[in-house]
């Protein structure tokens, strides 16, 4: 099995005007039959992902794709086969999707998608569709009132996924966390808690972010009671550890030089792309990132970018490190 080549599959994410995504039901006679999937099909020898996607969607749905862009690449091993899903977001297309192979079609909001209704390899696609293009990591907190004002500014600027990375006594962090999650949810944003499962459970956070140390020790390897599990990674080994623990998404750093870690050697985009290509989950680029780095991150296989100083606006306008 280990020496069997991966079956490359082009997968398309097609949205309607309401932001819903097109899904199709697999025939009961197919592998993983009876489950919903994202449309697409096998990439032929010598064929590019984009060309395969255009051909498959024309054959399956009767639509003609103009442009598409990479979303995520998922290598996945089933008991009886190895697949690599090369997922692209369809930017524009012509025609009305129809089930030309008698497959039922439906439009579904990503937030309503359930992993159990899809083949296991599709779970990272669902997560990628639910995740925003930026992951904002908070600075530590010296003044709770000021920190919350800065959080409000972040949310007003469009942040929809925030990691609370605050040290200090549990009582103080819990009080701050309760205020933070109320503000995040009011803005339709999610709040992750750095490393602390107990705090996340008490305040009803949207997930826990594992440190690299937790990955290596296996500490708190279980999932949070609800929500996502994410992790900090710095090399392929840590990405593999994160996958073994069932992490929903990860950050990989440092992609570029940072003031906070001047001694760290940046990975650069090409190395980032090589490592992310083997990760079966969405991965954010971290380290020296700014909002205008989202497109380069996506072009190199990332979910988007993560950071503190480029995304958390201090009230006095001074830069954060």
Half-sphere exposure of 167 (CA within 13 A, CB side): 2
Residue 319's pLDDT is: 39
Residue spans of the domains in the chain: they are: 7-129, 134-307
Residue 220's pLDDT is: 53
Count the Cβ atoms, other than its own, within 10 Å of residue 33.
11
Residue-wise pLDDT tens digits, 157-212: 999 999 999 999 999 999 999 999 999 999 999 999 999 999 999 999 999 999 99
Q: Is 278 exposed, middle or buried (0-12, 13-18, 19+ CB in 10 A)?
A: middle
Confidence tier at 321 by pLDDT (50, 70, 90)? very low
Residue-wise pLDDT tens digits, 250-291: 999 999 987 766 777 899 999 999 999 999 999 999 999 999
Backbone dihedral angles phi then psi of residue 88, each to the nearest 5 degrees: -125, 140
Confidence tier at 225 by pLDDT (50, 70, 90)? low
Confidence tier at 317 by pLDDT (50, 70, 90)? very low
Task: Please identify which residue in the block is written with the tokens 């929809």.
Answer: 160
Phi-psi region of 75 (alpha: psi -120 to 50; beta: other; left: phi over 0): beta
CATH architecture of the domain with residue range 7-129: Alpha-Beta Complex (3.90)
Confidence tier at 100 by pLDDT (50, 70, 90)? very high
Q: What is the DSSP string of 83-126?
A: EEEEEEEEEEEES----TTS--EEEE-GGG--GGGS-GGGHHHH
Residue-wise pLDDT tens digits, 40-61: 999 999 999 999 999 999 999 9
Using CA atoms, how far residue 289 sits from 25, 69, 239, 274, 296, in Å, is 39, 21, 20, 18, 10
Residue 258's pLDDT is: 77
Do 192 and 208 contact (CB within 8 A), yes or no? yes
Residue 314's pLDDT is: 78
Instruction: With residue 58 as reference, give the H or E element that holds it.
Output: helix 49-61
Percentage of residues in the chain with pLDDT exceeding 70?
93
Residue-wise pLDDT tens digits, 3-49: 678 899 999 999 999 999 999 998 877 767 789 999 999 999 999 99
Report the b/e string of 170-206 with b at 16+ CB within 10 A. eeebeebbebbbebbeebebbbbbbbbbebbeebebb
Residue 181's pLDDT is: 98
Average pLDDT rounded to a whole number, residues 236-261: 91
Domain at 134-307, CATH homologous superfamily:
Aldolase class I (3.20.20.70)
Average pLDDT, the chain: 91
The pTM score is: 0.90
Residue 319 to residue 210: CA distance in whole angstroms:
26
Residue-wise pLDDT tens digits, 127-151: 999 999 999 999 999 999 999 999 9
Q: List Cβ neighbours of 126 (8 Å cut-off, separation of 6 or more).
A: 110, 113, 115, 118
Supply 195's token pair.
């490393």
């Amino acid at each position: 099995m280990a020496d069997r080549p991966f079956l490359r599959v082009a997968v398309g994410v097609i949205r309607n005007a309401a932001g819903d995504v097109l899904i199709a039901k697999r025939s009961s006679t197919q592998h993983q039959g009876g489950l919903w999937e994202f449309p697409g099909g096998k990439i032929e020898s010598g064929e590019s992902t984009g060309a395969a996607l255009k051909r498959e969607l024309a054959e399956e749905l009767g639509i003609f794709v103009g442009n598409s862009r990479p979303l995520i690449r998922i290598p996945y091993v089933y008991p009886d086969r190895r697949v690599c899903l090369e997922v692209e977001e369809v930017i524009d297309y012509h025609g009305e999707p129809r089930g030309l192979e008698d497959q039922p079609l439906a439009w579904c909001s990503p937030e309503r998608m359930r992993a159990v209704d899809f083949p296991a390899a599709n779970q990272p696609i669902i997560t990628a569709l639910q995740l925003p293009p930026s992951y904002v990591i908070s600075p530590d907190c010296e003044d709770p009132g000021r920190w919350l004002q800065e959080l409000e500014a972040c949310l007003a600027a469009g942040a929809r996924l925030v990691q609370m990375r605050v040290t200090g006594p549990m009582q103080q962090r819990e009080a701050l966390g309760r205020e933070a999650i109320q503000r995040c949810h009011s803005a339709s944003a999610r709040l992750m808690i750095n490393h602390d499962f107990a705090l996340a459970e008490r305040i009803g956070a949207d997930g826990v972010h594992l440190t690299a140390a937790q990955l290596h020790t296996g500490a708190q390897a279980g999932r949070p009671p609800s929500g996502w599990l994410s992790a900090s990674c710095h090399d392929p080994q840590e990405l593999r550890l994160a996958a073994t623990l069932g992490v929903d998404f990860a950050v990989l750093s440092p992609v570029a030089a940072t003031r906070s870690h001047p001694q760290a050697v940046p990975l650069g985009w090409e190395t980032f792309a090589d490592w992310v290509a083997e990760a079966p989950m969405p991965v954010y680029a971290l380290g020296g990132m700014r909002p205008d780095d989202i497109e380069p991150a996506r072009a190199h296989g990332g979910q988007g970018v993560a950071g503190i100083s480029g995304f958390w606006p201090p009230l006095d306008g001074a830069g954060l490190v």
